[in-house]
Protein backbone atom coordinates (compact mmCIF):
# COMPACT_ATOMS: atom_id res chain seq x y z
CA UNK A 1 0.00 0.00 0.00
CA UNK A 2 1.06 3.60 -0.51
CA UNK A 3 3.57 5.00 2.00
CA UNK A 4 1.84 8.10 3.35
CA UNK A 5 4.99 9.22 5.19
CA UNK A 6 6.74 10.35 2.01
CA UNK A 7 7.91 13.94 1.95
CA UNK A 8 9.75 16.23 -0.42
CA UNK A 9 12.48 17.20 2.05
CA UNK A 10 10.58 20.22 3.30
CA UNK A 11 7.56 18.51 4.85
CA UNK A 12 4.66 16.51 3.55
CA UNK A 13 4.47 15.73 -0.15
CA UNK A 14 1.38 15.08 -2.28
CA UNK A 15 3.25 12.19 -3.95
CA UNK A 16 1.34 9.55 -1.94
CA UNK A 17 -1.93 11.10 -3.07
CA UNK A 18 -0.71 10.98 -6.66
CA UNK A 19 -0.01 7.29 -6.24
CA UNK A 20 -3.44 6.69 -4.73
CA UNK A 21 -5.29 8.74 -7.32
CA UNK A 22 -3.59 7.07 -10.27
CA UNK A 23 -3.89 3.53 -8.94
CA UNK A 24 -6.22 2.64 -11.78
CA UNK A 25 -3.40 3.28 -14.25
CA UNK A 26 -1.62 0.24 -12.87
CA UNK A 27 -4.72 -1.95 -12.57
CA UNK A 28 -5.81 -1.22 -16.13
CA UNK A 29 -2.30 -1.94 -17.43
CA UNK A 30 -2.33 -5.35 -15.74
CA UNK A 31 -5.83 -6.03 -17.08
CA UNK A 32 -4.72 -5.10 -20.60
CA UNK A 33 -1.85 -7.57 -20.36
CA UNK A 34 -4.22 -10.33 -19.28
CA UNK A 35 -6.77 -9.49 -22.00
CA UNK A 36 -4.11 -9.46 -24.72
CA UNK A 37 -2.63 -12.70 -23.44
CA UNK A 38 0.78 -11.08 -23.04
CA UNK A 39 1.94 -13.20 -20.13
CA UNK A 40 0.52 -16.43 -21.50
CA UNK A 41 2.31 -15.82 -24.81
CA UNK A 42 5.59 -15.32 -22.97
CA UNK A 43 5.25 -18.47 -20.85
CA UNK A 44 8.19 -20.76 -20.45
CA UNK A 45 10.92 -18.14 -20.83
CA UNK A 46 9.97 -16.75 -24.23
CA UNK A 47 10.98 -13.13 -24.84
CA UNK A 48 9.99 -10.50 -27.40
CA UNK A 49 11.34 -7.20 -28.65
CA UNK A 50 9.18 -4.12 -29.05
CA UNK A 51 8.96 -4.76 -32.78
CA UNK A 52 8.01 -8.41 -32.27
CA UNK A 53 5.35 -7.49 -29.72
CA UNK A 54 3.90 -4.88 -32.06
CA UNK A 55 3.59 -7.47 -34.83
CA UNK A 56 2.21 -10.19 -32.56
CA UNK A 57 -0.45 -8.01 -30.95
CA UNK A 58 -1.31 -6.05 -34.09
CA UNK A 59 -0.41 -2.68 -32.61
CA UNK A 60 2.00 0.09 -33.57
CA UNK A 61 5.53 0.52 -32.26
CA UNK A 62 4.70 3.48 -29.98
CA UNK A 63 1.96 1.74 -27.91
CA UNK A 64 4.01 -1.48 -27.86
CA UNK A 65 6.99 0.39 -26.42
CA UNK A 66 4.85 2.18 -23.82
CA UNK A 67 3.00 -1.00 -22.84
CA UNK A 68 6.11 -3.14 -22.39
CA UNK A 69 7.87 -0.41 -20.40
CA UNK A 70 4.87 -0.02 -18.08
CA UNK A 71 4.55 -3.77 -17.58
CA UNK A 72 8.24 -3.98 -16.72
CA UNK A 73 8.00 -1.01 -14.34
CA UNK A 74 5.13 -2.78 -12.52
CA UNK A 75 7.26 -5.87 -12.02
CA UNK A 76 5.36 -8.01 -14.50
CA UNK A 77 8.09 -8.20 -17.13
CA UNK A 78 11.89 -8.24 -17.04
CA UNK A 79 14.10 -6.73 -19.73
CA UNK A 80 17.18 -8.51 -21.06
CA UNK A 81 18.97 -6.47 -23.70
CA UNK A 82 16.26 -5.36 -26.11
CA UNK A 83 13.80 -8.11 -25.22
CA UNK A 84 11.15 -8.55 -22.54
CA UNK A 85 10.16 -11.75 -20.72
CA UNK A 86 7.83 -12.65 -17.87
CA UNK A 87 8.93 -11.84 -14.36
CA UNK A 88 8.66 -14.72 -11.86
CA UNK A 89 5.42 -13.18 -10.55
CA UNK A 90 3.79 -13.12 -13.99
CA UNK A 91 5.12 -16.56 -14.89
CA UNK A 92 3.59 -18.05 -11.73
CA UNK A 93 0.22 -16.29 -11.63
CA UNK A 94 -0.61 -14.80 -15.05
CA UNK A 95 -0.12 -17.72 -17.44
CA UNK A 96 -3.54 -19.05 -18.39
CA UNK A 97 -4.20 -22.72 -17.80
CA UNK A 98 -2.01 -23.09 -14.74
CA UNK A 99 -3.60 -23.97 -11.37
CA UNK A 100 -2.24 -20.76 -9.84
CA UNK A 101 -3.63 -18.52 -12.61
CA UNK A 102 -4.85 -15.24 -11.11
CA UNK A 103 -5.98 -13.69 -14.37
CA UNK A 104 -9.59 -14.76 -13.92
CA UNK A 105 -9.93 -12.49 -10.92
CA UNK A 106 -8.24 -9.60 -12.74
CA UNK A 107 -10.65 -10.01 -15.67
CA UNK A 108 -13.65 -10.06 -13.32
CA UNK A 109 -12.55 -6.86 -11.59
CA UNK A 110 -11.94 -5.18 -14.93
CA UNK A 111 -15.18 -6.19 -16.63
CA UNK A 112 -17.59 -6.36 -13.70
CA UNK A 113 -16.46 -3.81 -11.11
CA UNK A 114 -14.29 -1.15 -12.73
CA UNK A 115 -17.09 0.92 -14.30
CA UNK A 116 -19.58 0.54 -11.40
CA UNK A 117 -16.89 1.80 -9.02
CA UNK A 118 -17.24 5.13 -10.85
CA UNK A 119 -20.57 5.40 -8.98
CA UNK A 120 -19.15 4.69 -5.53
CA UNK A 121 -20.41 8.07 -4.24
CA UNK A 122 -23.92 7.05 -5.30
CA UNK A 123 -23.47 3.81 -3.31
CA UNK A 124 -22.33 5.84 -0.30
CA UNK A 125 -25.33 8.15 -0.50
CA UNK A 126 -27.97 5.49 -1.13
CA UNK A 127 -26.55 2.47 0.73
CA UNK A 128 -27.36 0.37 -2.33
CA UNK A 129 -25.13 -1.70 -4.64
CA UNK A 130 -24.31 -0.29 -8.05
CA UNK A 131 -23.25 -3.47 -9.88
CA UNK A 132 -26.83 -4.80 -9.91
CA UNK A 133 -30.37 -3.69 -9.12
CA UNK A 134 -31.95 -5.28 -6.02
CA UNK A 135 -35.37 -4.17 -7.28
CA UNK A 136 -34.96 -6.27 -10.42
CA UNK A 137 -33.14 -9.33 -9.04
CA UNK A 138 -33.56 -11.41 -5.93
CA UNK A 139 -29.87 -11.97 -5.33
CA UNK A 140 -26.38 -10.96 -6.33
CA UNK A 141 -25.63 -14.64 -6.96
CA UNK A 142 -28.48 -15.40 -9.36
CA UNK A 143 -28.07 -17.77 -12.28
CA UNK A 144 -29.70 -15.18 -14.55
CA UNK A 145 -26.79 -12.72 -14.36
CA UNK A 146 -24.56 -13.56 -17.36
CA UNK A 147 -21.62 -11.54 -16.01
CA UNK A 148 -21.68 -13.50 -12.75
CA UNK A 149 -22.02 -16.85 -14.50
CA UNK A 150 -19.32 -16.06 -17.06
CA UNK A 151 -16.74 -14.42 -14.81
CA UNK A 152 -17.55 -14.40 -11.08
CA UNK A 153 -17.18 -18.07 -10.22
CA UNK A 154 -14.04 -18.44 -12.30
CA UNK A 155 -12.68 -15.33 -10.59
CA UNK A 156 -13.42 -16.78 -7.16
CA UNK A 157 -11.67 -20.01 -8.14
CA UNK A 158 -8.72 -17.96 -9.34
CA UNK A 159 -8.35 -15.89 -6.18
CA UNK A 160 -9.31 -18.79 -3.93
CA UNK A 161 -6.48 -21.07 -5.07
CA UNK A 162 -3.71 -19.20 -3.27
CA UNK A 163 -5.93 -18.36 -0.30
CA UNK A 164 -6.96 -22.00 0.16
CA UNK A 165 -3.35 -23.14 0.11
CA UNK A 166 -2.38 -20.47 2.66
CA UNK A 167 -5.32 -21.46 4.87
CA UNK A 168 -4.31 -25.12 4.70
CA UNK A 169 -0.82 -24.21 5.86
CA UNK A 170 -2.04 -21.87 8.62
CA UNK A 171 -4.63 -24.16 10.21
CA UNK A 172 -3.97 -27.85 10.79
CA UNK A 173 -6.91 -29.75 9.32
CA UNK A 174 -5.23 -33.00 10.38
CA UNK A 175 -7.60 -33.43 13.32
CA UNK A 176 -10.67 -33.14 11.08
CA UNK A 177 -12.13 -35.84 8.86
CA UNK A 178 -15.24 -34.43 7.15
CA UNK A 179 -15.43 -30.82 5.97
CA UNK A 180 -18.61 -28.92 5.09
CA UNK A 181 -17.65 -25.99 2.86
CA UNK A 182 -20.61 -23.62 3.32
CA UNK A 183 -21.00 -21.22 0.40
CA UNK A 184 -18.07 -23.09 -1.12
CA UNK A 185 -18.55 -21.74 -4.65
CA UNK A 186 -16.38 -23.46 -7.22
CA UNK A 187 -15.02 -25.86 -4.60
CA UNK A 188 -11.48 -24.56 -4.70
CA UNK A 189 -11.09 -24.59 -0.89
CA UNK A 190 -12.37 -28.13 -0.57
CA UNK A 191 -10.18 -29.28 -3.45
CA UNK A 192 -6.97 -27.72 -2.17
CA UNK A 193 -7.54 -28.73 1.46
CA UNK A 194 -8.27 -32.34 0.48
CA UNK A 195 -5.13 -32.39 -1.65
CA UNK A 196 -3.06 -31.21 1.32
CA UNK A 197 -4.80 -33.52 3.81
CA UNK A 198 -5.42 -36.85 2.00
CA UNK A 199 -7.51 -38.29 4.86
CA UNK A 200 -10.01 -35.41 4.58
CA UNK A 201 -13.26 -35.56 2.61
CA UNK A 202 -15.37 -32.51 1.84
CA UNK A 203 -18.77 -31.36 0.68
CA UNK A 204 -19.43 -28.08 -1.10
CA UNK A 205 -22.77 -26.69 0.08
CA UNK A 206 -24.09 -23.98 -2.22
CA UNK A 207 -26.88 -23.03 -4.61
CA UNK A 208 -27.78 -25.67 -7.19
CA UNK A 209 -26.32 -23.84 -10.20
CA UNK A 210 -23.11 -23.17 -8.25
CA UNK A 211 -22.85 -26.85 -7.34
CA UNK A 212 -22.85 -27.62 -11.06
CA UNK A 213 -19.78 -25.42 -11.45
CA UNK A 214 -18.11 -27.01 -8.42
CA UNK A 215 -18.82 -30.53 -9.67
CA UNK A 216 -17.00 -29.76 -12.93
CA UNK A 217 -13.99 -28.34 -11.04
CA UNK A 218 -13.94 -31.37 -8.73
CA UNK A 219 -13.86 -33.73 -11.71
CA UNK A 220 -11.08 -31.72 -13.35
CA UNK A 221 -9.05 -32.04 -10.16
CA UNK A 222 -9.47 -35.82 -10.04
CA UNK A 223 -11.17 -35.71 -6.64
CA UNK A 224 -14.51 -37.33 -7.47
CA UNK A 225 -15.42 -39.44 -4.46
CA UNK A 226 -13.32 -37.25 -2.16
CA UNK A 227 -15.16 -33.96 -2.66
CA UNK A 228 -18.87 -33.85 -3.48
CA UNK A 229 -21.65 -31.25 -3.57
CA UNK A 230 -24.97 -30.75 -1.82
CA UNK A 231 -27.36 -28.10 -3.15
CA UNK A 232 -29.00 -25.76 -0.69
CA UNK A 233 -29.30 -22.19 0.53
CA UNK A 234 -27.49 -21.51 3.79
CA UNK A 235 -29.61 -18.43 4.39
CA UNK A 236 -33.05 -19.84 3.60
CA UNK A 237 -32.62 -23.45 4.78
CA UNK A 238 -33.56 -24.02 8.42
CA UNK A 239 -30.55 -26.25 9.07
CA UNK A 240 -27.18 -27.06 7.54
CA UNK A 241 -26.27 -30.63 6.51
CA UNK A 242 -25.04 -32.73 9.43
CA UNK A 243 -22.37 -35.38 9.82
CA UNK A 244 -19.33 -33.09 9.53
CA UNK A 245 -16.73 -32.31 12.17
CA UNK A 246 -15.53 -29.02 10.66
CA UNK A 247 -17.41 -26.25 8.85
CA UNK A 248 -15.58 -23.74 6.66
CA UNK A 249 -16.86 -20.22 6.03
CA UNK A 250 -14.39 -18.67 3.64
CA UNK A 251 -15.11 -15.23 2.18
CA UNK A 252 -18.78 -15.77 3.04
CA UNK A 253 -19.58 -13.63 6.07
CA UNK A 254 -18.43 -10.33 4.55
CA UNK A 255 -21.38 -10.55 2.14
CA UNK A 256 -23.98 -10.16 4.90
CA UNK A 257 -24.94 -8.06 7.90
CA UNK A 258 -24.50 -8.94 11.57
CA UNK A 259 -27.94 -10.44 12.01
CA UNK A 260 -27.56 -12.80 9.05
CA UNK A 261 -24.06 -13.79 10.16
CA UNK A 262 -25.16 -14.51 13.71
CA UNK A 263 -27.96 -16.71 12.35
CA UNK A 264 -25.52 -18.62 10.12
CA UNK A 265 -23.13 -19.19 13.04
CA UNK A 266 -26.08 -20.50 15.08
CA UNK A 267 -26.82 -23.00 12.31
CA UNK A 268 -23.16 -24.02 12.28
CA UNK A 269 -23.26 -24.65 16.05
CA UNK A 270 -26.38 -26.79 15.71
CA UNK A 271 -24.95 -28.82 12.81
CA UNK A 272 -21.63 -29.66 14.48
CA UNK A 273 -21.00 -32.44 16.99
CA UNK A 274 -19.31 -31.86 20.32
CA UNK A 275 -15.70 -30.76 19.70
CA UNK A 276 -16.57 -29.90 16.11
CA UNK A 277 -14.95 -26.76 14.73
CA UNK A 278 -15.93 -23.80 12.61
CA UNK A 279 -13.21 -22.07 10.59
CA UNK A 280 -13.73 -18.50 9.36
CA UNK A 281 -11.34 -17.29 6.66
CA UNK A 282 -11.63 -13.58 5.88
CA UNK A 283 -9.78 -10.32 5.37
CA UNK A 284 -10.10 -9.09 8.95
CA UNK A 285 -10.15 -5.48 10.02
CA UNK A 286 -8.05 -4.67 13.08
CA UNK A 287 -9.77 -3.87 16.38
CA UNK A 288 -9.69 -0.12 15.68
CA UNK A 289 -11.21 -0.64 12.20
CA UNK A 290 -8.41 1.38 10.57
CA UNK A 291 -6.67 -1.46 8.74
CA UNK A 292 -5.56 -3.55 7.07
CA UNK A 293 -5.98 -1.58 3.83
CA UNK A 294 -6.92 -4.79 1.98
CA UNK A 295 -9.70 -5.54 4.46
CA UNK A 296 -10.97 -1.96 4.61
CA UNK A 297 -11.08 -1.60 0.83
CA UNK A 298 -12.81 -4.97 0.48
CA UNK A 299 -15.43 -3.41 2.73
CA UNK A 300 -15.81 -0.58 0.23
CA UNK A 301 -16.22 -3.18 -2.49
CA UNK A 302 -19.00 -4.81 -0.47
CA UNK A 303 -20.76 -1.43 -0.51
CA UNK A 304 -20.53 -1.42 -4.31
CA UNK A 305 -21.50 -5.10 -4.72
CA UNK A 306 -23.90 -6.06 -1.92
CA UNK A 307 -26.97 -4.87 -0.06
CA UNK A 308 -25.78 -5.68 3.46
CA UNK A 309 -22.15 -6.76 3.30
CA UNK A 310 -19.11 -5.23 4.98
CA UNK A 311 -15.82 -6.38 6.43
CA UNK A 312 -15.54 -7.09 10.14
CA UNK A 313 -12.84 -7.28 12.79
CA UNK A 314 -11.64 -10.44 14.47
CA UNK A 315 -13.13 -9.16 17.73
CA UNK A 316 -16.58 -8.88 16.15
CA UNK A 317 -16.43 -12.44 14.82
CA UNK A 318 -15.16 -13.70 18.18
CA UNK A 319 -18.09 -12.02 19.96
CA UNK A 320 -20.63 -13.61 17.61
CA UNK A 321 -18.98 -17.03 17.96
CA UNK A 322 -19.06 -16.78 21.75
CA UNK A 323 -22.72 -15.76 21.72
CA UNK A 324 -23.50 -18.75 19.49
CA UNK A 325 -21.99 -21.09 22.08
CA UNK A 326 -18.53 -21.69 20.66
CA UNK A 327 -15.37 -21.63 22.76
CA UNK A 328 -11.62 -22.05 22.42
CA UNK A 329 -11.47 -19.26 19.84
CA UNK A 330 -8.08 -18.70 18.21
CA UNK A 331 -6.84 -16.52 15.37
CA UNK A 332 -3.99 -17.50 13.06
CA UNK A 333 -2.75 -14.77 10.69
CA UNK A 334 -1.49 -15.49 7.18
CA UNK A 335 -1.03 -13.61 3.92
CA UNK A 336 -3.29 -14.37 0.94
CA UNK A 337 -5.43 -12.49 -1.60
CA UNK A 338 -8.80 -13.29 0.01
CA UNK A 339 -7.82 -13.79 3.63
CA UNK A 340 -5.38 -12.54 6.22
CA UNK A 341 -6.38 -14.81 9.10
CA UNK A 342 -8.28 -17.91 10.15
CA UNK A 343 -10.56 -17.78 13.17
CA UNK A 344 -11.15 -21.23 14.64
CA UNK A 345 -13.75 -22.00 17.31
CA UNK A 346 -15.00 -25.27 18.75
CA UNK A 347 -18.34 -26.49 20.02
CA UNK A 348 -17.94 -27.73 23.61
Radius of gyration, alpha carbons of the chain: 22
> Above 90 in pLDDT, residue 327?
yes
The mean pLDDT value of the chain amounts to: 95
Residue 322 phi, psi dihedral angles, 5° rounding: -60, -45
Alpha helices, DSSP H, located in 130-257 = 146-147, 153-170, 188-196, 208-221
Mean pLDDT of the region 292-311: 96
pLDDT grade for 141, boundaries at 50, 70 and 90: confident
For residues 161 and 93, the answer to whether their CB atoms sit within 8 Å is: no
Asked if the model's pLDDT at residue 140 lies above 90, the reply is no
Instruction: State the pLDDT at residue 10.
Output: 66
Q: What is the pLDDT of residues 112-127, one digit of tens each?
A: 999 999 999 999 999 9
Please give the positions annotated as active site.
Answer: 254
| CB 130, CB 302: distance < 8 Å | no
Instruction: Name the residue with higher pLDDT: 315 or 152.
Output: 315
Query: Are residues 27 and 20 in contact, defined by beta-carbon separation less than 8 angstroms?
Result: no
If you classify domain 15-93 with CATH, what class do you get? mainly alpha
Say if strands 178-182 and 246-250 run parallel, antiparallel, or are unpaired.
parallel
Q: Is residue 4 scored above 70 in pLDDT? A: no
| Mean local confidence (pLDDT), 328-332 | 97
The H helix count followed by the E strand count for the chain is: 15, 10
- Rounded to the nearest angstrom, the gap between the alpha carbon of residue 136 and the centroid of all alpha carbons in its chain is 26
Amino acid 260: pLDDT: 98
Check: CB of residue 173 under 8 Å from CB of residue 246. Answer: yes
pLDDT tens digits along 202-236: 999 999 999 999 999 999 999 999 999 999 999 99
The class level of CATH for 135-346 reads alpha beta
Q: 3-state DSSP helix/strand/coil percent for the chain, to nearest 5? A: 50, 20, 35
Selected residue with higher pLDDT from 146 and 203: 203
E strands along the chain, which residues?
47-49, 77-80, 83-86, 178-182, 201-206, 227-231, 246-250, 277-282, 327-336, 339-346
In the prediction, which pLDDT does 6 show? 60
pLDDT in tens, 166-192: 999 999 999 999 999 999 999 999 999
For CA atoms 178, 327, 265, 195, the dihedral sign is negative
The pLDDT of 56-82, averaged and rounded, is 97
State the pLDDT confidence band at 151, using cuts at 50, 70 and 90.
confident
Q: For the chain, give the longest Cα–Cα distance.
A: 67
Q: How confident is the model at residue 247 (pLDDT cuts 50, 70, 90)?
A: very high
Element of type H or E holding 265: helix 258-271
Sketch the domain layout of the chain as residue ranges. 15-93, 135-346
Which whole-number Å values give the CA distances from 297 to 1, 66, 222, 300, in the listed order?
11, 30, 36, 5
Q: Evaluate if residue 11 carries a pLDDT over 80.
A: yes
Residue 348 is given by DSSP the state: -
Sheet strand arrangement including 77-80: 47-49, 83-86, 77-80
Distances in Å between the alpha carbon of 336 and those of 158, 160, 341?
A: 12, 9, 9
Higher-confidence residue of 132 and 149: namely 132
Residue 285: the pLDDT is: 98
Amino acid sequence: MVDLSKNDGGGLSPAPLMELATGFWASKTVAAGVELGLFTRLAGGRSVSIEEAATEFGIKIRPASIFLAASAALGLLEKDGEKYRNSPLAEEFLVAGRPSYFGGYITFLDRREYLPWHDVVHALRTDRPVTWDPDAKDSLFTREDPMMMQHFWEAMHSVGYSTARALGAAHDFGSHTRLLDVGGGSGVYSIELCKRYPHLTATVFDLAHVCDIAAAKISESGLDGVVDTVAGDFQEDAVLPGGYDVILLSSVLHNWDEQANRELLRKCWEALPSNGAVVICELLLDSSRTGSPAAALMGMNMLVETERGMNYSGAEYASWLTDAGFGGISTTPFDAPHGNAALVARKP
